[in-house]
Structures are given as structure tokens and as C-alpha cells.
Structure 1
């Protein structure tokens, strides 16, 4: 992370990173949307559609619906595939943006509060941080599971 962002108060750094990820994710979404509306009809578009990362994003959206969009911001790399896949499956901008806002907030807060530093420490082998990381991942998985069960139990439509 840039040193000047790290020197900001947490709320300001989170807000700045929220704006950064907003524009990055929106650009990725709109590239997917443009692909849906024209590029897919070209030879290059057919290759793009068969790309494994793009296919993974589309499959995740079709399988889980809108909850995968904010949850994808808790991953590295997969979030781009999901954002592009949302555009490629022709989601409306309004629904996509509403689904993505919690993910923007989570991403901004995680990076502003040192999430990247935690990841670097894990790579370097700090056992205490490894345990903390495992606890956080388990909490996120359990929370996501509870949200999905609630949605399915109450018959809330998760498709676009």
C-alpha cells in the first residue's frame, strides 16, 4: 500500500480505497458489459468467452446469484472474474452496484486496516498471524454460509 494512504486515519484510508475499488470494479463490469453487447460476436470474443477465469466468474454468478459479488471482494484475483462475469451476463448497472457496495466497503477496510500486511506476514511464516488468518477465514465462510441458507430458506430470489 502507498505510504501516504497508510498514514491517513482509518476512516479516510477506507474511504479512499472504497473509491479506488469502486472505479476499478465498475470499469471491469463495464468491460464485461461491452463484451456482451458486441465483442462476443467477434473471433476474439469467442476466445474470451471460453477463457477459464471468465467462465469461473460467470458460473459463480449463475450458481450463487448476487451474494457472490460482494463475497468476491474477499478474494484475490477471483473478484475480477466475477465483476467481468456480471457485465458479461448483462446484469443491470443498478443491481450490480447495489450488490457490490458491501464488497467495496469490505475491500477498502481490509486494505486500510493492514490486510495486505497480514497477508505478507503469513507468507513470511508468522504462526500467530496464521492462526488469526484461519479464524478470520472460518468466520467469513460461516457468515457466508448462514447468509446463503437464510436466503434459500426464505425463498429470496438470488438470480438477476
Structure 2
């Protein structure tokens, strides 16, 4: 399916991706609105993720919804939490539209370019393989750097003052 999207003109790929992400995020929001009892079980199993989503929504409001489209790993939790917290639709829908448009634009350009590079690499093009290696390398470096930033600092008892 992605190779079909990659073959489309930009505006058609953008429109298809926009519809897909709007449907997914709104479905997640409505599941959250209707599943408060299930949320308590989900929250227990995914405590840290849901705490982060709730914290983002409480501090940023609808902006958290928009920004969640630019993240990996917390997007679904933000939309589900927005539904559970019953964010009013007059705030949620515009934030979802802007975020969906940003997501679709990114995937219709960069994301589909990676798919096209992958297809070219499969066909024997060295340029396609070089793009895939560069993207994977950048992703690994980003993952390692983010992981190191999250490591808690340990305090040396010998260096603490009384």
C-alpha cells in the first residue's frame, strides 16, 4: 500500500494520509470517551505513559494533541487520554486537524521518500540503499542520544555535603 501512496502526486498522498490519521486519532479519542472503566485497567498497565500523557494535556491542553502527531510512542496515549479526560470537541477537533495536516505533510514528503528509496534499493539502486542507511543511522543516533538524556543521574555519597 505504501508503494501505491508513494506513486501518487503529493496532494493525493497528503489527502489519503490526512484521512487515515484523522480517522485513527478520532477513533482513539472516542474509545477514550467511552471506555473509562477500561482506562483504569490500561492506566495500571501503562502507568508511566499515561501519566506523561495526562501531564502534557493538563499543562498544554489542545497544543499537546497537535504536538503528539510529531512524536512516536505517546501519540495514542495522548488521544486516548484526551477522550478519557473529556476534552471538549471544540478544542480537540481543531488541534487534531492541525496535527493531522502536519503528520500527513511529513509522511507525504519524507516518509514516502523513504519508501521510494526502499523500493529502489530492492531494485538494485545504490542511491536508495544510501538513503535507507542514512535514515536508519539518524534514527539510531537519535534513539541513543535520547536514551542517555533520560538516564537518572546518580549521586555519589562521598561528594554530598552534610
Normalization by structure 2: what TM-score? 0.66
Structure 2 match to 1:47:
41
Structure 2 match to 1:123:
136
Stretches (4+) displaced over 3 A: 118-121
Structure 1 match to 2:6:
6
In 2: Cα distance, 1:80 partner to 1:120 partner: 28
- Residue 19 to residue 120, structure 1, CA distance change in 2 (3 Å): farther
TM-aligned CA deviation for residue 120 of structure 1: 6.7
> CA deviation digits over 1:50-105, x for unaligned, max 9?
32222221111012111111111011121111111100111122321111111000
> Which structure has the larger Rg over C-alpha atoms?
2
Q: Say if 2:57 and 2:78, in contact at 8 Å, map to a contact too.
A: yes
Length, aligned pairs only = 122
Is the deviation greater in 3-12 or in 110-119?
Answer: 110-119
Unpaired runs of at least 5, structure 2: 115-130, 143-162
Unpaired runs of at least 5, structure 1: 134-160
Aligned pairs (5 A) from 1:130-145: none
Structure 2 match to 1:94:
90
In 1: Cα distance, 2:75 partner to 2:133 partner: 20
Structure 2 match to 1:77:
73
In 1: Cα distance, 2:136 partner to 2:82 partner: 31
Normalization by structure 1: what TM-score? 0.67
Q: Say if 1:33 and 1:90, in contact at 8 Å, map to a contact too.
A: yes
Query: CA-atom RMSD, angstroms?
Result: 2.5
